[in-house]
Every structure is written in C-alpha cells, then in structure tokens.
Amino acid sequence: MTETVLIVGASGIVGSAAAEVMGEAGWTVLGLARNPPAQEGVVPVAADLQDPDGLMAALAPHRPTRVVLSTWMRRPTEAEMIRVNGAMVRNLLDALRPAGSVRHVALVTGLKHYLGPFEAYGKSAVPQTPFREEQGRLPVENFYYAQEDEVFAAARRDGFSWSVHRPHTVIGKAVGNAMNMGTTLAVYATLCRETGRPFRFPGSPMQWNGLTDMTDARLLARHLLWASTAPQGANQDFNVVNGDVFRWSWMWGRLAAWFGLEPAPFDGTIRPLEEQMEGDAPLWAEIATRHGLAEPDLDRLASPWHTDADLGRPIEVVTDMSKSRRLGFLDYQPTEDAFLDLFSRLRADRLIP
C-alpha cells in the first residue's frame, strides 16, 4: 500500500526535513499550511488549523495514512499557548476523522517537556539529567502536554497509533521559522565578520562549560519515519538527539573558524543576542544588497530570543537516547557536522554570504 503523509508545518525546520525524507521513501507528501509555499515533491493543502470548517473542507479530498504534527503557535502566556495549540491539534484530528484513513500520528514537541515552558526555565525543580522518557511530566502548565492529550484522546477514539518525539534544539534549514538557532548563529557570525564586532558567546557559564546535545532535523526526520512504520515505535514517547555531546567552549571555536573569525574570549558575562542584534535589520538589508542575498529581512532568518533562551540556561541539558536504541533506531549525527552542513546549505542558497 502506498503511504500518504500529511505534514503540518511542512515548510518549517522539522517539516521540510520530514517531507524530503518521506518523499525519498516513496511516500506521497501533503503539506498543510495557511499559505503553503511551493515545495518540490509536496502537494500543498491550504487550511487554517483554527478554522474547523475550512480545515474539514480542505482535507476532504485527501486520505493520509500518516500524520506529522510539527507546528505550533506562539502566544504571550502559557495558558494562551495551551488553549490555542491544544485546539489546533483537536481541530486537525477531528477533520481527519471522517476519512478513517489515518493509521499513525507523530507529534513533535521538545525538551520543554522536562524543562517547563520558557517563562518557567530554572524556576522550578528540574528532573535529573540526562532526561529520560520515564521521568514524565512536571507539575506545571505546558502546552506540550495539551497537544499530547489531544493526540491520545483522538487515538483512543479513532484507533490509530501515535508517537511523541522530543528533540533538543533542532539544527536545520528554514526561512521564517520562530526557533532557528543554526541560522541565527550564522547571521550573527556574518554580522560580526562584516562589521568587525567580536564573535562573543552570548550565553551562560553553565552552557559554556557544561555538556549539552542537539538534534539535526534530518536525523529527526528519519526518526519520524521509523516510528511511523516500525511496530515497536507505536504508542511510545521518544527523546531524539544526535547521539554525541559537546561543550560550547569547544563548539564555539569550530563555528567561528567556518566564518573565518577568531572567537572572543568568554569572561562569564551573559550578552544576549537579542540585545547584540537589536537594530541590525537595516545593516542586514545592506549586507543582503551588497552580496545579492535572497532574504534581506533579518526577522525571517534570525530568532535571537529562542537562541538566548537555550544558551542562557542556568542548568545542564543532556538527553538520553537509550529507549530508541533499544527499540532499533541506531542513527547518529555529529553535531559539528550538522552546523557546518547547514552553513554550507545557507551559503549555497544565498541566505548568507
């Protein structure tokens, strides 16, 4: 039987990688968005997750067998995030119910499952690291939990299997994404090189000196494919990281070298990128014009608030992948290669000079 996957968020970091991997596997790929961009190998489905009737009409012609949920909507408070994001998942699964075609739903969340929402970072008890799936939920409001609950309820009702995927910071290529550390650091390094500013690590001493890990979007896409089809992946929650660990005190110099920069010494002072890059939009537009870049809008490339949230953490964040390994997913991706491969792709696509 030919598989058809509906990817919600197909133009994002995770969704675009999943579309590529699943398309290469021979699947028909549907990409749902309010205004879906043209993507090679992706059938666009224009719909708003907050419009149940419109969503039902847009999905009526399609019979997806697999669903990947890799999108969310940012709101000012966690309570509002819960209301909006939970409703979007519920609306989608309700709209897919009449066809009765869905056999598996894969939900992408993240390590805020263990850390709590951005506004609660470091303010409550944090489970011991490395994070393991058995640690369960924190006693705090979290929109990830609301998304999970909607998937679980629909799975019980409609008889499909599910998987939950919790990556650490995702490194991959996308324009207009709200959480994009790799491209944000590439833009920051370019600004430093073009202006002569020091390339300073913006985060905390804990992140500079402590161990951490990350997730390549391509590895996450392969994990989504595996869990959507392997019997042992059904009805399971999974951490998903590259498989290596590193310290930013080691990685920062590697990133600097790719851009031909000497990294500035780190003196333990937190210098958030949101402050360092404030007012840089006109400068980026000038750099884009000078080098013939494809995207002159700094806000569509860089998300310094998210990078600051990750690199400013006062706690160690390391993730255990044993559960996936035991069940048969053995892929591995060196994180340094994930960054440098991304930088090469950004340059090839004229997004950085």
Copy the structure tokens of residue 149. Answer: 């609950």
Nearest 10 degrees: Cα torsion 300, 347, 221, 115: -50
Report d(CA 32, CA 96) in Å as an integer.
13
pLDDT attached to residue 178: 62
Q: Would you call the peptide bond into 353 cis, given omega within 30 degrees of 0 as the criterion? A: no
Residues of the chain with pLDDT under 50: none
pLDDT attached to residue 263: 97
List the Cα angle 344/347/351 in 5-degree steps.
135
Report d(CA 105, CA 49) in Å as an integer.
16
pLDDT attached to residue 296: 96
Q: SS3 helix, strand, coil % of the chain, rounded to 5?
A: 45, 15, 40
pLDDT (tens digit, 9 = 90+) per residue, 241-257?
A: 999 999 999 999 999 99
Residue with tokens 């309570």: 79
Q: What positions carry a catalytic annotation?
A: 112, 144
pLDDT attached to residue 110: 95
Give every CB contact of residue 295 below 8 A, 6+ residues apart in sequence.
175, 288, 301, 351
pLDDT attached to residue 142: 94
319 DSSP assignment: B
99 DSSP assignment: G
pLDDT attached to residue 74: 87
Helices (H) and strands (E) in the chain, counts: 14, 11
Report d(CA 256, CA 287) in Å as an integer.
19
